[in-house]
Chains A and B, each alone.
Chain A
């Protein structure tokens, strides 16, 4: 206890030095948190755009459904199981869908489309509501919402009738005429060219897959990259003949792209830490040199080297913890501000991103584990740098000084 009190007093003895050291730690952490949060945030944004709205973070489907995504491998409806899944606190939403491919024609025009049968609850969700480019969402059976570009290709407008036909469930003939109720901005030209959204019941009727789902699209409450709830959810809510697949498994190329990019970010962080680490070491060497006389004096008066070293260690510990706390708080505030007012890209880059269906913003990740990890790293670096003054304590000769 004496050691802590002495350490605290020592910190106050040269306030400027303590402040500089603490500030260095705080700023290092502040920048590391912002850098990493932005980088991981962009990945989250990317994943949310690519999988969040369409194929889903987690899919529950027949064990044979992936990778062919064949309509024949549909699941039997399981309403009780779905209710139970939806009641899970870790699940933000769970929507059953039925989907497949068909030819969509109007007059002489035709195109191949992926039809997606979505449940009324899903259509009512803000996501689909926001996608409407024209027309409206209605409950009327036999309605279809076409991707904007598909509608252009067919020269179909709201109120027109299109005929869809193709292969249905287990080889049967799928055919229906649907009335265009609206067109959709899917945020992705490719999807806009080949998507036709219908009600789940219409889709089941169309494909002859009565009472069947292709998969259940599950969005977990927490969607950070570091958190993959697939296995956990699968264990909690087993469904016979089905399995839970995370987007990481279904789209390995996406996770690979992220990993490749992320290692670049880690290199930059490493450089930041090396710079900060040497800065801290410099401060520590300065501290050791300035206080060598003091150490010698204390040792001469009979203070044990171990206690002295302990005091110096506690000093660095307090300093780095305080610095990390300030840095973490500043970083958190900055991240929250960035989340509220995200950085928005301008010009060509923004246009290119919008073309690919991404909102041109750089939202930060709100994952608190980023702050914790990097606070840990920076405290560790500070403690490593403290090795220098500790060494000085043990090397100082009380007689010769």
Chain B
């Protein structure tokens, strides 16, 4: 009996080493495709509110988590509205004004991208959980039916994020993050992101259906990835205010 127990312990040993692996590595691995690949994507967002439902269609080009160009293709009234982020600079173009407007950086931290529950930085590139945060491993938990590592991330000083902490649930396998909870010490949970469905796009494993919830889940926005392609030719020089002005929906 004793020997059997010992054997069991020995058998479990490699498993525990896997589980106790560095949370920073877990996050770096989970973010690898999102941050490391330049891409073009087409997304559809559906925001549910008490009195209305809003469907927003966008096209987006991204390069790392610091460069992004977003063009709204629907609904009709908002068609052609564009956002550009080039590192620390942010610009916006609204067809009705006919002008490129430079946005204050604080806009990145302001919630609610065009009436959805996604924040500006969710779409324009958010801070890297692996690089810009310090980590604390909180064990494993099952979230949305998937076994996950639970990791508490605290932003390093000087990183422009609205949350005081981010709790990340990262799949123990290779699916990446399953849930992110953006927490404020004063107001509790500010926003939650859930990866509901995973798929393969252009050969890359990624979440294809995401849900953003705010106000404790009272408001939700569903985001579907309709198309996703690698765009290795994109580089920082591509993301210019001129590009913002010229890119048609």
Contacts and interface: CB of A to CB of B under 8 A. Distances in A.
A170 B114 contact: no
Contacts of A108: 102
B115 A167 contact: yes
Contact of A163 (B51, B101, B104, B115): B101
Interface of B: 47, 49, 51-52, 54, 56, 72, 75, 77-78, 81, 92, 94-99, 101-104, 107, 112, 114-116
Given A103-B103, A208-B77, A170 B51 contact: yes
B115 to A, nearest CB: 2
Nearest to A206: B96
B103 A173 contact: no
Interface in A164-192: 164-165, 167, 170-173, 175-177
B103 A171 contact: no
Nearest to A72: B51
Given A170-B115, A173-B114, A72 B49 contact: yes
Contacts of B81: 173, 175
Given A105-B102, A110-B103, A165 B75 contact: no
B96 A176 contact: yes
Contacts of B94: 163, 165, 173, 175-176
Interface in A101-131: 103, 105, 108, 110
Contact of B99 (A103, A171, A177, A208): A177
A132 to B, nearest CB: 25
A167 B72 contact: no
A173 B104 contact: no
B115 A177 contact: no
A176 B77 CA distance: 13
A167 B114 CA distance: 6
Contacts of B97: 163-165, 175-177
A206 to B, nearest CB: 8
A175 B107 contact: no
Contacts of A73: 51
Nearest to B93: A175
Contacts of A208: 77
A171 B51 contact: no
Contacts of A105: 101-102
A167 B81 CA distance: 12
Contacts of B56: 171
A110 B91 CA distance: 12
A110 B96 contact: no
Contacts of A171: 47, 49, 52, 54, 56, 114-116
